Structure 1
Amino acid sequence: MRSAPPRPQAIALLIAFGVQFALGMLLNLFVQLPKTHPGSTGGEYFSRSFTSLGWALSGGGGPWLFVHAGLGLLLALGTLALFIGCLARRVRGWRWLTGVTALFTVGAFFNGMSFVDYGEDFQLRDHGRLLADRGDAAGGGGRAIPPSGRPVHPLAVRWGAA
C-alpha cells in the first residue's frame, strides 16, 4: 500500500534550505574564519572534518557559523530521513527526487566541512576546472584562450578568423 507524499516535511526542508542559503551568504560576506582552529590541521580527512564540525557546533567559530553548521547537519539528516521514509512507505514519484536531494545535500555538507578544514571552496574551484576542461574537450564549447591571452570565440577559431 502506498501512502500520501510527505509534503509538509518537504516544504519545511525547502524553507530550511532557503534559510541555509541566506546564512551561507552572510558567512561568506561578513564572517572571517580563523586560519587555525581544531580540525584545520591534521592528516586524515574525516577525522579532521568531524573535529572542525565539533568546533563549529561548540560555538568556537561564532554564532553564525554555529547556526549554519547546525542547520547544515539537520538538513543532511532531514533529507536522508525523508528519503528513507519515502522508500519505506513506497511513495510513488518521490523516491528518486528525495534520493537525489539527499545525495546533493550530503555532498554540500561535506563541501562545507572541507571549507572549514582547508579555508578553500574546492567544489567551486573544481567545478570551474571541470567546465573549462569540458569546453576544451568538446571542441571549444567554451572560449579558447590562445597564447596571446586574448579570448577568442570557438566559432572564430573554426572559421579561421582568429
Structure 2
Amino acid sequence: MQDIEARLRNLQQVGALRTLHDELADQLIQTDKTFSTDDREKFPRPALRGSKDIVPIRTLAELDAEGRVMQYCSVVYARDVRNRLACIYRVLSPERATLEIDLSGSHPRVAQLRGFQNGPVAHETWQAVFAWHRSALVEWKERQARRKSAKKPTKHAR
C-alpha cells in the first residue's frame, strides 16, 4: 500500500495515473479468486431486455472486450454481474457507451453510464438510455407480477 501511495504522490501526468489504475486493476483480477479465468463463462440472464442500441453483455469475454474497446476496467464488475447485483450493457447509439444497471434495490435502476475512458456522455445518450429503461422496466414489472401470481397458493373448493 505504501508503494501505491508513493506512486500516487509522484504522478506528474494524467496518463501516468491511467497506467497505475490499469496495473492495479490487473493485479486485482490476478489475485482475487472470485474472478473467473474462463472467458467462456456465461453471466446470469440480464434483468432487463436489450434493444438494437442497448445490448446486454452476457459473458466474461464480452465484458473484457468492452473494457478494452472503451479503455477502462469493466471486468471488475464481473463479480457483481455474477452475483446478480448488476447487469452491464453496451450502448451503441446515439453514441458508444457502457451502462451499468444496479439490481441491489427493489427494482433495476440506472447506476452508471460512461463514455470512452470513463468520460461523460451527451444529453441525448442519457435521454435514449432513460427511454429504454422506462420501457424495459415496464416489462420487468409485468414479469415480476406474473411470478408472484404463479407462486400464490390456489384455494380449492370443497
Normalised by the length of structure 1, the TM-score is 0.24
Report 1 or 2 for greater relative contact order, CA contacts < 8 Å, sequence distance ≥ 6.
1
Higher helix share: 1
Higher strand share: 2
Q: Could you say which structure has the larger radius of gyration?
A: 1
Normalised by the length of structure 2, the TM-score is 0.25
